[in-house]
Amino acid sequence: MEEKLEEQSKNDKILAENDKNNVAGNAKSENEVESSEELPDEKDLKFKNTTKLNEQAITAFQIFAMKKYTWTIASLISIVFGGLGLGLCFVNAYIGVAVLIAGILGGVIFFPYLSREQIKKQNALIFEGKKYVNVFEFFDEKLVVTNVDGENDIYQIYDYKGLAQVVLFAEYIAIYINKNQSYLLDKKGMNKGTIDEVLALLKSQNIPFKDKTTLGEVKKK
């Protein structure tokens, strides 16, 4: 019995670590080549980028990227409860006004606040104050992403054709390895080549693109 409990405890730790890696940008996808495969020849490297992110930067970006969704839900809450409050005013003015005010405050103030706090809390548990450095190396047919932690660098290789999509922001590029997981690439982190050349390469691979640069820049606190 003790052996089974010990084995289950080990499995739980492995699953927890996998969940952590998925959010940290170390997740594996179906198109990923095992890191045991030989890396592409360095002489064939076309472009290179080094992106440094910490918990605060990632949190700020996530809040920024979700602001359209957040305010859409907030507006719906205000409209629904506002309409309900107006209707109740014909039955009981005090209750109607109370519901109306609660709906406006809940939608405009409390829901956006709770959404931001949830993201902060989640990232605090996942990243534990660590800083992440990802090195992106672009070859003709492969993308190599290396997570540099100073001890055990982990690299992962992706086929461009297997990438789910690329989303452009004013300061970052989100490269989705599947519909739920992505890497953040800082446009200012280019070590070789330009960001325009990287985008041209990705577009040539017929990867779906979304342009959200009109949302503006991420507000860093």
Would you state the pLDDT for residue 78?
Answer: 85
Instruction: For residues 219 and 138, give the distance between their C-alpha atoms in angstroms, rounded to a whole number.
Output: 29
Instruction: For residues 136 and 47, give the distance between their C-alpha atoms in angstroms, rounded to a whole number.
Output: 8
What is the residue extent of each domain of the chain?
A: 30-54+130-214, 63-126
- The 10 Å Cβ neighbour count of residue 41 is 8
- Give the rounded percent of residues in the chain with a pLDDT score beyond 70: 79
Instruction: For residues 78 and 76, give the distance between their C-alpha atoms in angstroms, rounded to a whole number.
Output: 5
CATH 2.30.29.30 is held by the domain 30-54+130-214? yes
* Burial (CB count within 10 angstroms: exposed 0-12, middle 13-18, buried 19+), residue 62: middle
- Each residue's pLDDT tens digit, 170-196: 889 999 998 878 899 999 999 999 999
Dihedral sign, Cα of residue 43, residue 174, residue 176, residue 131 = positive
User: Does pTM top 0.85 for this prediction?
Assistant: no
Q: Which of 121, 126, 158 is nearest to 23 (CA)?
A: 126
